[in-house]
Amino acid sequence: MTTWREFLLEHAKTVGTTDIFLEEVGVIAPEWKANYAVPDKTLVEHLCQTLDNILEDTIFPDDSRNDFLSKFGRHLQFSRFGTREIEETIWSTNKNETESRGILDVGIFPATTFCLGAYGGYRFTKIVEHVEQGLSSRVDYLGMVDDKRVVLVEAKSPSVMKAVGSSLPEDTVELDWTPGGDLVSRVFLEAALYLGLRKIEWLFLTCHNNWIVCRLVSDKDNPFLAFSPMFSIEGSSEPFRAFLGAILSVLEGTPVQASEFNPSMVFDTIPEEGKGGSELPMTRFRATTSRDAAESDLMFTLSSPHYPEFFQVWVHLHSLPNNTFVLPHCTENGNRKRRLWLTRHIGCGSTGNVWECHFDNSDDLFAIKVVKLQHKSDVQRQRRFYNEFEVYLSLEIAYQSGQLRDCITPHCYGAFEGDRTNVLILGLCGDTLKDWDELNFAEQTQIYGLVWDLHRVGIVHGDLEPRNIARVPGGGFRLIDFSESVRHSCVEISGKLNKRYKCSELRAMRGVLKLLERHASALPPSNVRAHPLLRRTQHPLVRPQRGGEVLRVPPQLAR
């Protein structure tokens, strides 16, 4: 007589290898519950042990042997007649995700259906979800037993599985969703997303050949994702037994030994800076902050408004002490806090990610820069954030005093801090430039005028690239991302200019915008000799050209 566990240990295994081709995985929706992914090297062992404990000494029916083997078809070591199949290695040519799903459909899934039915009369089905558009990515397989959701399976190509397996970290992975990022982070974010939204504990990543188990550990204060090392199905029954163990642990109410969040793996947080902390260079802006600041009535979330409130994760924000800006008006319901919904990722700045957002009960759109602070090394990122906010404060003073008449940046609505998070709320601009060559001459001179005005109020941008120039609806441009800005006394504007240009940023801008070449080619020789002497005027000058044509000279290039 053979017991269930003895039979599965011996026969629930396949053989073969696959060719590896590098492939990418898709970008996922920005909702998740787990903040960290933690390695658990004993996870598979504990699943197999749980299966053994459930099956105990239950006898495997002899007349079911061939039935079980046939469920794996020719993808098992043994044929339906119990003989080893040497030539049947078609699955070893598996090269993509579609083929991975096909192998699962004729192998492990039918075997699972048979085992659960033969052992406890359970009815196992695997379904492909139909998810409402805009809510989340769709998991490949949702495992159901008697209409109860018990397990998720995400099929990957062999190339992705090998790339992930070779890069699995030995330490904790922070699950901070940003477009791009490395492959391992994206795969774990995907797993955390699927499990969190469906409130399921187990997810198996597999190409059939190789497997990784993911477990969402439910902890209301700090949920996290545990993941196993990658393990192979070649000559091993572990993948099938772990899969069956996860399902039966849910059905039988037998918990798998807990995965632990090792305190030594917790990310370092940024220490509060006291008065004795090192000062920033004098050319840098300086802002002070305190956790004792009064809490604002503002909070934001990446969660979808379509999800129930108990699943939404909110970050509560405090206004920075020197924040003199006023938030835009938004409708409030009773005493509920003002809430910002982050709806679309716009781009990545040098310090954080920028999102499109809106307030409750409002269709007006804004931009929010979110700066995450987890490591000690993020102190510099935090300082650049404060630096950028000080630029907006300085520009606001220039607007109010009349020193600046036209907007050169998005409107700022304030800076706030939350749990290891800084945010800056701004007016929403359009797309950023892709290349300087997309600009016509009028647009080039307009952008140069923005930079000139910035220098006129004593600020150098420090990172003038096309990505930091944004278009605005109706025409025009705005300068964005001031995290590298410094105080500046521009010699070109102060009148201390000699015949050689002294301001490196203005000189660089004239170079990339090709203003000197265009202007010089259009002016008569006398004007070419004179135009290095630059000064600010309020209106463009009109100068007659030879032949009676009129040339409108940009004020920044006026003599």
Ranked by mean pLDDT, which of 49-58, 192-201, 346-355, 537-546 comes out on top?
Answer: 49-58
* Helices 4-11, 238-251: crossing angle, 10 deg rounding: 140
Is pLDDT at 284 greater than 50 in this prediction? no
Question: If you search the block for the tokens 């944004």, which residue do you land on?
Answer: 470
Q: Does domain 436-557 have CATH number 1.10.510?
A: yes
Q: Which whole-number Å values give the CA distances from 460 to 402, 497, 516, in the listed order?
A: 20, 17, 21
Q: Which whole-number Å values give the CA distances from 491 to 181, 392, 499, in the listed order?
A: 42, 23, 12
Q: Give 155's strand partners.
A: 206
Is pLDDT at 272 greater than 70 in this prediction? no
> Where does the pLDDT of residue 289 fall: very low under 50, low under 70, confident under 90, or very high at 90 and above?
very low
| Annotated binding-site members for ATP | 369
pLDDT of 446: 92
pLDDT of 106: 77
| Annotated binding-site members | 369
Where along the chain do its domains lie?
A: 2-259, 295-327+336-427, 436-557
Q: How many CB atoms lie within 10 A of CB 117?
A: 12
Q: Which residue has the higher pLDDT, 103 or 76?
A: 103
Q: Taking all residues of the chain, what is their mean pLDDT, rounded to a whole number?
A: 73
Q: Work out whether strand 412-418 and strand 421-427 pair parallel, antiparallel, or are unpaired.
A: antiparallel
Question: Rounded distance, CA 104 to CA 140, Å?
Answer: 11
> Where does the pLDDT of residue 504 fall: very low under 50, low under 70, confident under 90, or very high at 90 and above?
confident
Would you say the pTM of this structure is higher than 0.95? no
pLDDT of 222: 63
The pLDDT tens digits of the residues spanning 87-144 come to 344 445 566 788 788 778 878 898 899 999 988 899 999 987 665 444 445 788 999 9
The set of residues, in sequence order, having a beta carbon less than 8 Å from that of 494 and lying 6+ positions away, is none
pLDDT of 409: 94
Q: Which residue has the higher pLDDT, 514 or 40?
A: 40
Is pLDDT at 25 greater than 80 in this prediction? no
> SS3 string of 218-252?
CCCCCCEEEECCCEECECECHHHHHHHHHHHHHHC
pLDDT of 361: 82
Q: Which of 266-270, 287-291, 338-342, 462-466 is least confident?
A: 266-270
The set of residues, in sequence order, having a beta carbon less than 8 Å from that of 414 and lying 6+ positions away, is 319, 320, 323, 325, 326, 327, 424, 425
CATH code: domain 295-327+336-427 is: 3.30.200.20
Q: Which whole-number Å values give the CA distances from 472 to 224, 433, 456, in the listed order?
A: 41, 11, 22
Q: Which of 219, 230, 265 is nearest to 38 (CA)?
A: 265
Tokens of 455: 């220098």
Question: Rounded distance, CA 295 to CA 369, Å?
Answer: 19
The set of residues, in sequence order, having a beta carbon less than 8 Å from that of 467 and lying 6+ positions away, is 347, 432, 433, 481
